Amino acid sequence: MIAYLETAQQFQINTPHTTYALAVADGYLMHIYFGKRLAVQDLTDLLRLNESPYTPTVNLREKAFFFDTYPAEYPTGGTGDYREAAFGIETADGFRACELHYVEHRIFKGKPLFSEMPHTFGDNAETLEITLRDAPTDVTVFLSYTVFDDSDVIIRSVKVRNSGKKAIKLTRVLSASLDMDNDRLEMLTLYGSWARERQIDRVPLRHGKQRIDSLRGESSHQYSPFFALVSPETNEQSGAAYGFTLIYSGNFFAQAELTQHCQTRIQIGINPDDFSWELQADAEFQAPEAVMVYSDNGLGEMSRCFHKLFDHHLIRSVWRDKIRPVLINNWEATYFHFDETKLLQIAEQAADLGIELFVMDDGWFGHRDSDDSSLGDWFPDKRKFPNGIHAFAEKISVLGMQFGLWFEPEMVSPDSDLFRAHPDWAIQIPSRELSLCRAQFVLDFSRKEVRDAIWAQMQDIIESTHLSYIKWDMNRQLTELGSAALPAHRQQELAHRYVLGVYDLMERLVTTYPQILLENCSGGGARFDAGMLYYSPQIWASDNTDARDRLRIQHGATMFLPPSAVGAHISVCPNHATGRTTPFDTRAAVAMSGTFGYELDVTRLTDDEKSRIPAQIECYRRFSPLVRNGLQYRLGDPFSPSKTAAQAQNGWDAWLFVAEDGAEALFTYVQISAEANMRSRRILLAGLEPESVYRYEIDGNTQEKTGAYLMQCGLLMRNLFGDMQSVQIHLIRQ
Ligand code: GLA
């Protein structure tokens, strides 16, 4: 998979369908090519080393000119490259220039694994590690490129070692940077807000820097740590698409910079703002992994490459390959207003209908009747559970259900025993007012004693209730960054140390109790990132459960994370976030395209709604393996609904899950807005075997058509009566 051409000093990294090439020239590591797979061959002429006037040794011109134009693989600042640097240091004397030279490389089977951070894994990996060095400071940088023989992705990571004698400050260590030739690219990013996560933006690159980032201490609602660069003509099924993401859950930075010579510098990594790291002599710093994908079959294939990688090489949970229990969560049913009796009524009714897991959300601990108290006090509220929470858990178990609980381990309320005992455990800057957000503060998870105290409380509850599921929430962003445990010159390490602390506690949780199904959440989907997948196989995608809005949120979410990770539930209508009413079965079809569950007071449903639940559950169980392991094809565009009757052909969304062996497929169609007197629509399928015949039922009739017919002529979806009507069709290869 990885070839080294010795004479050309060129590296060629091949995945099944793509090639990534770099070379050493004049002692510097340069980027040559990233795209469709090439035969192994000498590509160094693409470096333009003989073009005037900038190459130092060939044209004997000044180095500074060269630095500002050469296609750098891991650029530094202070010596002539005025574009964005990937790596920065500050010496004890206060100097910041740095120049990395190639030292050596090695190619080996396997890949680097990290002790403190999430990472990809697998036996079928090969890695190229290139060592670079800044001579005056003796700082050594190791760039790693890993490929798996079953995935069209390249994993990059960066490790820094201080081989010198004096401590040095790292001011930035991005995980990936590359300079590509291309001035026509468009940048696709996922932006949003609480309850409106992962909307799609797509704009042409202009000269200068286009950046998305987070300084919130988490990956955030506002931007996802993902972007794609695409050709103007790229769509779901065709065209070039480069995708980049980071296996990290904290402050990130992702940028594309179109330069004076119309090259594009692409970068992703830990946000260099609010970051620095003191590296003692002989110490090392590890940056998180970045994932790069190239597809020449559009955004759909790019996404499927990410999905497959994460499914096979990142998600560790035993639940990865299992049908997850159908759950009911009481948040939208009761909010904080419940007691044991009320919850048992819901659980009894839910158990009768076939729901398997009861999840008690926020409000079961301390004296929490609203969001203004008790975070940090993880013991049951005696008023709500007079006999303790284990007694309640026992009653749930008697109903034949499993039991799950909500925790928000990283937080503390000012009104809590924990805060009264340890006010310095909150992240804060002395003598500066500490900002409240959702009436709470953030615990300093960079401190082991803080994590230990929370862990001890969680373990008591987990063991006394025999928990099967945990929803790990995180409901506010970080402010007033300051840790009582760090000296002044290391305060800028806090944001990253905080994330490492979160990973440490999650690691303890998933390794001590591997059978627990962990669902990550952050005020909805503010931690919807690949880092979390290493611990939790599913992530609550949004507090917005409205089926119409979920079409967009889930379309955006699956740009880079697999559908099996998208936390999705059926809730009541009118929807609590939008006031919209959508059909019960459409809500089920949309939730079934993620993890599936209920988030409502099942005792208040109509008899008709209740009667539909067993069939919905059966359908979920039947198709869950297809959603989890199949290949997803997004067929519609929920971001462009019809505005007029003339545009009614756009007022729909559809997607398809195709089994990896091609034996079956599940098609879901949603007519977003009804139009009077419209003809049926042809929806072109994708991903089927052209020659194979598929049998399916449509409008009560059994049909048999070839894959070619279904992909070129389409399925005819007749005009349905009403907005948000849906159809699901199961296609079986004959
Ligand atoms: C966050 C979560 C919700 C719910 C509430 C409880 O907003 O996203 O699902 O758990 O917290 O306070």
pLDDT in tens, 525-578: 999 999 999 999 999 999 999 999 999 999 999 999 999 999 999 999 999 999
Distance 476 CA to ligand 1 centre (A): 11
Please count the CA atoms within 13 angstroms of the CA of 53 that sit on its side-chain side: 5
- Give the three-state DSSP class for 550: helix
- Active-site residue, selected from the candidate residues 361, 543, 546, 585: 543
Sign of the alpha-carbon dihedral angle for 645, 646, 647, 649: positive
Distance 518 CA to ligand 1 centre (A): 15
Q: Give me the pLDDT at residue 148, please.
A: 98
Rounded-to-integer distance, Cα 304 and Cα 657, Å: 11
| Burial of 644 from C-beta contacts in 10 A (0-12 / 13-18 / 19+) | exposed
Q: Whose CA is nearest to atom 11 of ligand 1?
A: 523
Q: Whose CA is nearest to atom 1 of ligand 1?
A: 523
Q: Please indicate whether residue 67 or residue 37 has the higher confidence score (pLDDT).
A: 37
Q: Is the pTM of this model over 0.75?
A: yes
Question: Shortest CA distance to 173 belongs to which of 246, 122, 120, 244?
Answer: 246
Rounded-to-integer distance, Cα 732 and Cα 734, Å: 6
How would residue 619 be classed by pLDDT, with cut points 50, 70 and 90? Answer: very high
239-267 pLDDT per residue, tens: 999 999 999 999 999 999 999 989 999 99
By most ligand atoms within 8 Å of CB, the mutation choice from 360, 373, 474, 475 for ligand 1 is 475
By most ligand atoms within 8 Å of CB, the mutation choice from 522, 543, 569, 599 for ligand 1 is 543
Indicate if 543 belongs to the active site: yes
Task: Evaluate if residue 183 carries a pLDDT over 90.
Answer: no
Task: Give the DSSP letter string of 203-257.
Answer: EE--BEEEEEE--SSSS-SSEEEEEEEE-TT--SSSB-EEEEEES--SSEEEEEE
Helix axes 607-629, 584-591, angle to 10 degrees: 20
Distance 478 CA to ligand 1 centre (A): 17
Judge if the beta carbon of residue 197 lies within 6 A of ligand 1. no
Give yes or no for a contact between 264 and 257, defined as CB atoms under 8 angstroms apart. yes
Q: Looking at the DSSP assignment, which residues form a beta bridge with residue 664? A: 732
- Give the three-state DSSP class for 615: helix
Indicate if 637 belongs to the active site: no
Question: Shortest CA distance to 153 belongs to which of 115, 124, 192?
Answer: 124
Judge if the beta carbon of residue 523 lies within 6 A of ligand 1. yes
Tell me what the mean pLDDT of segment 62-70 comes to: 79
Q: Give me the pLDDT at residue 37, please.
A: 97
501, containing H or E segment: helix 494-512
> Which atom of ligand 1 is nearest the CA belonging to 524?
8
Distance 128 CA to ligand 1 centre (A): 43
Judge if the beta carbon of residue 521 lies within 6 A of ligand 1. yes
Rounded-to-integer distance, Cα 102 and Cα 130, Å: 7
Judge if the beta carbon of residue 473 lies within 6 A of ligand 1. yes
Q: Give me the pLDDT at residue 50, please.
A: 75
Judge if the beta carbon of residue 524 lies within 6 A of ligand 1. yes
- Give the three-state DSSP class for 683: strand
- Active-site residue, selected from the candidate residues 134, 473, 549, 723: 473
Judge if the beta carbon of residue 475 lies within 6 A of ligand 1. yes
Q: Give me the pLDDT at residue 644, please.
A: 53
Give yes or no for a contact between 219 and 550, defined as CB atoms under 8 angstroms apart. no
Judge if the beta carbon of residue 333 lies within 6 A of ligand 1. no
Judge if the beta carbon of residue 444 lies within 6 A of ligand 1. no
Q: Give me the pLDDT at residue 643, please.
A: 53
Q: Give me the pLDDT at residue 612, please.
A: 98
> Which atom of ligand 1 is nearest the CA belonging to 406?
10
Terminal-residue alpha carbon distance, the chain: 37
Residue with the two structure tokens 């998933």 = 510
> Which atom of ligand 1 is nearest the CA belonging to 361?
10
